[in-house]
Every structure is written in structure tokens, then in C-alpha cells.
């Protein structure tokens, strides 16, 4: 991700703004200390003792994803492509979140596994588990480094702090609250961060709209600038880089909406971990479903500011008109903050942005230390130690991951493109994962060998399609290439898994209880008290409401 | 930032037979405290420091004042919610108020 290098972005922060930012950091550290008093065993540290209410984990669920890439990237897309960017939320996130809550969560929560890779091990044995756990752990450390790098870059651009100082300060803050309070502290901070981000972005959107003359004024300005396309979300040819409107719609619905988003939201332990920290099956299932409500309205305070910047901020308007003002689309939301927020609100906005960037990193690290301690260390290095031992391993892993993240951030600072490629590649691990999980959950005949061969061949298929498009052998570019690569990974994974299952021996049926739909007694995958819950705590009813709302949003903003 | 200490005392004061409210450990208290603090600062700024420079940025709208008031209202709602439906801690485990209903205001 490239930002303007010079002082274009420098914000005029004064004492009050710094005080507001400092207040936020003080609260973050206090949460770490408060949570420490309650951490008594390793389950408490890694899964919050399975005690949190659903609205808390639901907000944490989307906050974990509301990091630097989301806010900077989606407002940039808003400035560049306009309303088509809504697809990342309404097509590319909400349906998958509902599917996770309604269909898949009963297996994750009901089987009492402590991580997504652990589910993999119980269903498919160590081959698939090792592939999953290693690729996940590696990806998390590298992505944490990328988040850290973005954080330092932005602090440097906004406030003028040297990059290495912001790197170390940010890493130290994240490290202290996770080592102190474990997942509880991470989740509580994510909930707090959600409200600070809304407190920063909602006024930004309202003031921005006021400046351009309201919603009507924004629409007129976009029309006048000759970007009529930005006002419709379908067929989204600019976004998908697929010219044919029919193929573009298919690409968005199948590639983004089905394979990429289901792969990400349903198998990514960073997300699923938040739901595992709840106190009951109903609360676990409700977590992503409750999260889907704020998720569907976040685009209005992330994408709309990008669209406002494209007509209000001089530099972004020049860029959009084909000029070269020395900024990129990634600067859009920062430039809008510079232009419209007075001191005071500016401080809230800086606190909100820093909160979001730290949360991204904290989520990666708290998921990493769980997988490292339970899935790698306990499984393959030192088995059968007392619980306190793994708690200690988790804390050491957190420190180690943070140090590695600092070095990753330094590498990212020197090889910007390399990091972009790596991030794209890790995205490809998710697509075949979803295929393997969904097949494994509903088809008891699927074998252990099929588990890992499917994963590996699916990932290779994605990498192959992606390299072919990068080298220009097939005529696809940008998002279109990712959609097709993910689709190929999904299809190849299914085909290979079915073929291999036909020639290898399945696991005995007795070992599949809790892991496969047909072998799981109804009591294990449902909440015995479910019928006593009012409608607003019932996962399926909430999911129905969410689905109706998101379809309505798609129709209104088509 | 003294809320944590006050609330912690309050939480222990309410202890009765292994059951007590989460007090300051309730994340809603923390949210209400921080957003309320931001609200106070912004309202004061909006009153004492609203000049031409600010008006030019926001398009003649005292944004600090009005957003600050909005934050204060939000903080009050959260504080009231925490007060009316406290999280009860039982044997180290957080349990929601048996009267339920704590999920509706979350969104």
C-alpha cells in the first residue's frame, strides 16, 4: 500500500488532539491490567474462558477485521470506483457471516475444539492439520508485520514521528495488553475500538456531506465530474476489471461473494476465535450474525467519505480527473480528515485510526499465539504438560510474534511489492480451506488423505492461475484475477477431494461424532435452551432479519 | 481514568454471597467513560474555541459542539444500560442478567 510520501498529509494536531489520543491509550492499557486479574488458566487466556456475551463478541468479530487495510483500502476503493465498493460488504461479507453462524458454528463450538486447525486435526488427522496450522501461523505473523508497517507509515505521515519510533511504540502497546490480558483484553479493546472508530468516522461523513451540500449535492457533484458509473453498484466492471457485464456480475457473486468471502469469514481463525469465546452455543452462533448488522452499515462511514473526498479534496479530484497531484487513492480519507475536521474532532479521528490499526495487529497476534501453543507446540513438540505451562508458552509466543512482526515491518518498508504479493498468496490458502471444511462437515465418506491433498492441490491451482494472469498468459487483471484464482482453487479442491476419497479408506464413523453433520446427535449441535430465548437472541431469526436487510440495501443502492 | 478504581471498589461493595456485578470490568462502563470524556472535551472546545478557521473547515457548523453533545447522549445511554442490566459475576464467570434483554441495545 503506497501513501503520499511528503508532508501533504501532515495534520495540524495540537495539544488537545494529543490529549484525546493519550486518553485512548491509557484506557487500552487499563483494560490490559484489569483483564490480567482474571486470567487464571490457559483457556481463560486463549478463549476468554468462554464467558463473553454475544453482543461483545459480535462487535469484536467485525472490529478484528476493521483494520488499516479495511479503512484505508475501502475508502480508497470508494474514491476510485464509487458505489461498486459496497459489494465488499453486502456481497463479500454479510452472506458469509450469516452462513458461518447458521451452518458452521455448531460444529466449531459443539466439538469443543480450541482452534480452527484443531477441528481440521480431529476431522482429517495430522496431514491437513499441519498444512493448515503452519500456513495460518506464518500468515498471521507476516500480516501482523504488514499492519504494524502501515500503522508506522501513517503515524509518520500524520504526525511526523520517525518510522522506527512509531513501530516500536505501537508494538509495545499491543504486546503489553495482549500478554497481560490475553484474548479478553484483545476482545474488550476491539469493542471499545469499534465505538471510537464510529465516533471518528460518523462526524467525518456528516461534515463531509454538509460541505458538498448533502446527499443530493454529492450525487450532483459526482455527475458533474463525469463519473456517472460511480453511482451504480452493478455490474461493477471497474471493480472486477471484467468488461462484459454478465461475466462481471458472475465474477462478483461467485468469486467475491462465494469463494473468497466464504473462505475468509468461515475458516479464518482470527474471526472464528471471537465466537468461540462466548458462553453458549446460541451466543456463539449469534456472534457473526450480530456482527453482520453493524457490518452492513460500515460502508456508509468508510466508502462514502472516499466518494466525498473524490469531489471535495483538491488532490483526490485531480487524481480522479487523470492528473498527477502526488497523492494516491489510499490517501483519500486522510486528506478528507485534513480538510474538514477541526482540532478536537481531529484528535478523536487520529485515536480512531490508531485504534483500528492496532486492533488489526492485536487480532493477528492473539490468534497466532493460540494456534502456536495448542496446535503446534502442544501437538508436535511437548505433549501432556500442565495447563500453566501452555499459558507460559502462549505469553512467550506473543512476545516472539511481536518481535518477528517488527522485523517483517522493516522488510515491508523496503520491499513494498513483495508484501503485496505475499498477502495475495495467503488469501489463496483460504479458498480451498472452505471447500475442504464444507465437504468434510457434510460428507462422512471424505478421507484424511483427501483432506490434505485437496488443500494442497487447491492452493496450487490458485497460485497457478494467479501467476498466469500476472505474467499475462491469460487476459485477466486486478480483482478479476483473484476471483478466478479463488474459484479455480475451490473447484480443484472439491474434485481432488472427491477423487482421492473414492480410492482411500474413510475414518471409522465412531470418530466423526461432533465433526460431521450426519454423525452428530442433535443435542450436540443445538442449544438445549434455544427455545427459551426471545427472538432477538435466536440466531436463525436474527439471521433472517439480517438477510432481508442486506437484500434491501442491495436493491436500494443498485 | 480513575473510573476503574472507583468501579472496582463499587463492584466489591456490592458483593453478596458469591454474586456481584462486574462493575468497571463491564466493557460498557469503559466505553461510556471514554466516549463521555471525549464528549465533554469537544463540547467545551465548541463553546470556547469556535472561530473562522473551524467554520471554514466544517462549512459553518459548530461540529465540535454538536458531535460532543451527541457523544454525551450516547455515553448516558450506555451508562443507563449498564446500570439497568448489570452483568452479574458468579464464581469468576460472567453471567448475563437472567432477565435478559441485554442484546437489543448493542446495535
Judged against a pLDDT cut of 50, whether residue B94 lies above it is answered with no
pLDDT of residue B69: 94
C-alpha cell at A498: 472427491
**pLDDT tens, residue by residue, A380-433:** 888 888 877 888 888 888 899 899 888 888 887 776 666 566 667 666 777 788
Q: What angle do CA A30, A10, B38 make, to 5 degrees?
A: 35
**pLDDT tens, residue by residue, A351-363:** 888 888 787 788 8
pLDDT tier, B96 (very low <50, low <70, confident <90, very high otherwise):
very low
Distance from the Cα of B57 to chain A's closest Cα (Å) equals 5
Judged against a pLDDT cut of 90, whether residue A537 lies above it is answered with no
pLDDT tier, A284 (very low <50, low <70, confident <90, very high otherwise):
confident
Chain A / chain B CB contacts < 8 angstroms: 117
Q: Rounded mean pLDDT of A498-519?
A: 83
Rg (CA), chain A: 23
Residues of chain A with pLDDT > 70: what percent?
91
pLDDT of residue B7: 35
Higher pLDDT pick, A420 / A268: A268
Judged against a pLDDT cut of 70, whether residue A42 lies above it is answered with no
Q: Rounded mean pLDDT of A234-259?
A: 76
Q: Contact A70/A302 with Cβ under 8 angstroms?
A: yes
What is the DSSP secondary structure assignment for residue A278, as one 8-state letter? B
What is the DSSP secondary structure assignment for residue B15, as one 8-state letter? -
Q: Torsion-angle region of residue B97: left (phi > 0), alpha (psi -120 to 50) or beta?
A: beta
By CB atoms closer than 10 A (0-12, 13-18, 19+), residue B69 is: middle
Closest CA to A478 of A264, A240, A188, A196: A240
Whole-number Å distance between alpha carbons of A294 and A65: 12
Report the residue count for chain A.
Answer: 558
Residues of A in contact with B52 (CB under 8 A): none
Q: What is the mean pLDDT of chain A?
A: 82
Instruction: Report the residue from B30, B63, B64 with minimal CB separation from A27.
Output: B30
Whole-number Å distance between alpha carbons of A331 and A346: 16
Distance from the Cα of B48 to chain A's closest Cα (Å) equals 12
Whole-number Å distance between alpha carbons of B2 and B8: 10
What ipTM was predicted for this assembly? Answer: 0.83
**pLDDT tens, residue by residue, B7-39:** 333 333 333 444 555 555 677 888 899 999 999
pLDDT of residue A358: 80
pLDDT of residue A499: 93
Least confident of A136-140, A363-367, A497-501, A516-520: A516-520
Report helix, strand or coil for A52. strand
Find residue B19's DSSP bridge partners.
Answer: B16, B90
Residues of B in contact with A34 (CB under 8 A): 4, 8, 24-25
Whole-number Å distance between alpha carbons of A65 and A75: 15
Q: Rounded mean pLDDT of A290-312?
A: 92
Distance from the Cα of A98 to chain B's closest Cα (Å) equals 16
Q: Contact A384/A130 with Cβ under 8 angstroms?
A: no
By CB atoms closer than 10 A (0-12, 13-18, 19+), residue A544 is: middle
Residues of A in contact with B68 (CB under 8 A): 344
Higher pLDDT pick, A83 / A227: A83
Find residue B21's DSSP bridge partners.
Answer: B88
C-alpha cell at A71: 479503512
**pLDDT tens, residue by residue, A460-469:** 898 888 888 8
**Residue labelled with grid coordinates 497457478:** A464
Interface of B with A (CB under 8 A): 1, 4, 8, 24-25, 27, 30-31, 33-35, 37-38, 41-42, 45-46, 49, 53-54, 57-59, 61, 63-64, 67-68, 71, 87, 92-96, 100-104, 106-107
Q: Contact A35/A181 with Cβ under 8 angstroms?
A: yes
Cβ partners under 8 Å of residue A226, min gap 6: none
Instruction: Report the residue from A51, A290, A344 with minimal CB separation from B64.
Output: A344
Judged against a pLDDT cut of 50, whether residue B3 lies above it is answered with no
Q: What angle do CA A342, A347, A352 make, to 5 degrees?
A: 120
Candidates B5, B44, B49, B67: best to mutate against A (most CBs of A within 10 A) is B67
Residues of B in contact with A23 (CB under 8 A): 1, 34, 37-38
Closest CA to A307 of A338, A332, A327: A332
Judged against a pLDDT cut of 70, whether residue B97 lies above it is answered with no
Q: Rounded mean pLDDT of A327-348?
A: 88
Q: Contact A288/A265 with Cβ under 8 angstroms?
A: yes
pLDDT of residue B95: 44
Least confident of A38-47, A491-500, A520-529: A38-47
Rg (CA), chain B: 18
Distance from the Cα of B84 to chain A's closest Cα (Å) equals 16
Question: Is B92 close to A59, i.e. CB distance below 8 A?
Answer: no
**pLDDT tens, residue by residue, A218-245:** 888 888 877 777 777 777 777 777 777 7
Q: Rounded mean pLDDT of A73-80?
A: 87
Whole-number Å distance between alpha carbons of A547 and A539: 12
Amino acid at each position: 500500500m503506497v501513501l503520499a510520501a511528503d508532508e501533504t498529509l501532515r495534520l495540524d494536531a495540537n495539544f488537545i488532539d494529543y490529549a484525546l489520543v493519550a486518553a485512548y491509550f491509557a484506557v487500552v492499557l487499563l483494560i490490559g491490567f484489569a483483564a490480567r486479574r482474571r486470567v487464571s488458566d490457559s483457556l481463560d487466556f486463549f478463549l476468554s474462558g468462554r464467558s463473553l456475551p454475544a453482543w461483545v463478541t459480535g462487535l469484536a468479530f467485525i472490529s478484528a477485521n476493521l483494520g488499516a487495510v479495511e479503512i484505508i483500502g475501502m475508502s480508497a476503493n470508494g474514491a476510485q470506483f464509487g458505489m461498486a465498493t459496497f459489494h465488499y460488504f453486502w456481497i463479500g461479507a454479510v452472506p458469509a457471516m450469516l452462513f458461518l453462524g447458521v451452518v458452521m458454528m455448531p460444529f466449531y463450538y459443539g466439538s469443543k475444539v480450541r482452534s480452527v486447525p484443531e477441528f481440521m486435526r480431529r476431522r482429517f488427522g495430522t496431514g491437513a492439520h499441519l498444512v493448515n496450522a503452519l500456513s495460518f501461523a506464518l500468515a498471521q505473523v507476516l500480516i501482523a508485520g504488514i499492519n504494524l508497517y502501515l500503522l508506522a507509515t501513517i503515524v509518520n505521515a500524520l504526525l511526523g514521528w520517525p518510522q522506527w519510533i512509531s513501530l516500536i511504540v505501537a508494538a509495545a502497546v499491543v504486546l503489553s495488553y495482549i500478554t497481560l490480558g490475553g484474548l479478553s483484553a484483545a476482545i474488550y479493546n476491539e469493542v471499545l475500538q469499534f465505538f471510537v472508530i464510529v465516533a471518528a468516522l460518523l462526524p467525518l461523513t456528516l461534515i463531509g456531506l454538509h460541505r458538498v451540500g448533502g446527499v443530493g449535492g454529492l450525487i450532483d457533484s459526482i455527475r458533474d465530474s463525469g463519473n456517472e458509473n460511480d453511482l451504480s453498484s452493478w455490474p461493477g466492471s471497474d471493480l472486477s476489471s471484467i468488461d462484459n457485464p454478465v461475466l462481471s456480475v458472475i465474477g462478483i457473486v461467485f468469486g467475491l461473494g462465494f469463494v473468497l468471502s466464504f473462505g475468509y469469514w468461515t475458516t479464518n481463525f482470527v474471526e472464528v476465535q471471537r465466537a468461540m469465546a462466548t458462553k453458549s452455543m446460541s451466543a456463539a452462533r449469534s456472534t457473526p450474525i450480530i456482527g453482520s448488522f453493524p457490518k452492513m452499515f460500515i460502508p456508509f462511514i468508510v466508502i462514502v467519505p472516499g466518494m466525498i473526498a473524490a469531489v471535495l479534496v483538491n488532490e483526490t479530484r485531480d487524481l480522479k480527473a487523470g492528473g498527477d497531484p502526488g497523492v494516491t487513492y489510499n490517501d483519500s480519507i486522510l486528506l478528507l480528515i485534513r480538510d474538514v475536521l477541526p482540532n478536537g474532532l481531529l484528535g478523536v479521528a487520529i485515536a480512531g485510526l490508531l485504534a483500528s490499526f492496532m486492533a488489526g495487529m492485536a487480532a493477528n497476534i492473539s490468534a497466532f499465539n493460540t494456534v502456536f501453543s495448542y496446535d503446534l507446540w502442544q501437538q508436535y513438540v511437548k505433549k501432556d504438560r500442565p495447563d500453566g505451562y501452555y499459558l507460559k508458552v502462549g505469553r512467550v509466543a506473543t512476545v516472539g510474534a511481536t518481535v518477528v512482526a517488527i522485523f517483517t515491518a522493516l522488510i515491508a518498508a523496503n520491499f513494498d511489492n513483495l508484501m503485496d504479493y505475499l498477502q495475495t498468496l495467503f488469501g489463496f490458502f483460504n479458498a480451498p480451506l472452505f471447500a475442504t471444511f464444507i465437504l468434510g462437515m457434510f460428507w462422512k465418506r471424505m478421507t484424511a488423505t483427501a483432506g490434505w491433498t485437496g488443500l494442497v492441490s487447491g492452493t496450487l491451482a490458485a497460485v497457478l492461475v494467479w501467476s498466469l494472469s500476472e505474467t499475462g498468459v491469460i487476459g485477466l487483471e486486478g480483482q478479476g484475477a483473484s476471483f478466478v484464482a479463488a474459484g479455480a482453487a475451490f473447484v480443484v479442491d472439491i474434485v481432488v477431494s472427491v477423487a482421492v476419497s473414492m480410492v482411500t479408506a474413510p475414518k471409522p464413523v465412531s470418530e466423526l461424532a461432533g465433526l460431521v453433520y450426519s454423525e452428530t446427535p442433535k443435542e450436540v449441535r443445538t442449544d438445549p435452551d434455544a427455545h427459551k430465548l426471545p427472538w432477538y437472541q435466536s440466531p436463525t431469526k436474527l439471521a433472517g432479519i439480517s438477510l432481508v436487510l442486506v437484500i434491501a440495501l442491495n436493491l436500494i443502492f443498485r | 481514568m480513575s473510573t476503574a478504581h472507583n468501579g472496582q471498589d463499587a463492584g466489591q461493595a456490592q458483593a453478596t454471597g458469591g454474586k456481584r456485578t462486574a462493575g468497571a470490568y463491564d466493557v460498557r462502563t469503559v466505553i461510556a467513560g471514554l466516549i463521555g470524556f471525549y464528549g465533554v472535551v469537544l463540547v467545551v472546545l465548541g463553546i470556547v474555541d469556535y472561530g473562522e478557521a473551524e467554520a471554514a473547515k466544517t462549512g459553518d457548523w459548530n461540529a465540535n459542539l454538536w458531535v460532543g453533545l451527541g457523544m454525551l447522549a450516547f455515553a448516558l445511554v450506555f451508562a443507563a444500560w449498564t446500570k439497568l442490566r448489570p452483568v452479574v459475576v458468579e464464581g469468576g464467570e460472567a453471567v448475563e442478567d437472567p432477565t435478559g434483554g441485554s442484546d437489543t441495545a448493542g446495535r
